[in-house]
Amino acid sequence: MDIKLRRTAYLSLIGILIRTNTFPKVVEIVKEMTRAGHYLGVYTRALLIYMLGCARRPVCAAKIFSLLPDEQKCTATYTALIGVHFAVGGSNKALKTYKSMQRTGKHPSLGTYNVQLSGLEISGRLSEAETYQKKKRSRNL
């Protein structure tokens, strides 16, 4: 229909769709929002990815992450996606996402290490959890 919406209208639509559990449409709204030149803020994009993970919608969360331009993929969004993968039992995907984060030059935060450690421990990957605990300590976090 070629209707131009303001950023607040897109965010309102996203809120309604989340409350009605229409998660695939959230992805479409974010896609349209991006095409229109509106971007989610740092906290909004990380929170949206995290919320989709809590709703057990890892595919939607990964699509939202992939829609973000590279300059908007920050430590917070990577950490949220890592948490999503751990939440649905995808520890290998979580570790791949962590490695991807490092390759792009993003530095892990205390929250990133905490998500990694918790996810690895819950997954029963205790030796890998020890490795991340040492990395966390070595960075004085």
Tell me the domains of the chain and their CATH numbers.
Answer: 7-138 (1.25.40.10)
What confidence tier does 2 reach under pLDDT thresholds 50, 70, 90? low
pLDDT value, residue 92: 94
Stated pTM of the model: 0.86
Those residues with Cβ within 8 angstroms of residue 73's Cβ, 6 or more apart along the chain or in another chain:
65, 104, 106
Mean pLDDT score, 92-120: 93
Token pair recorded at residue 137: 């300590």
Q: Which two tokens stand for residue 81?
A: 């996606």
- Taking CB atoms within 8 Å and a gap of at least 24, the contacts of 7-13 are 7/33, 7/38, 10/36, 10/38, 11/44
- The answer to whether the CB of 64 falls within 8 A of the CB of 48 is yes
- The answer to whether the Cα torsion of 22, 8, 53, 28 is positive or negative is positive
Give 72's DSSP letter.
G
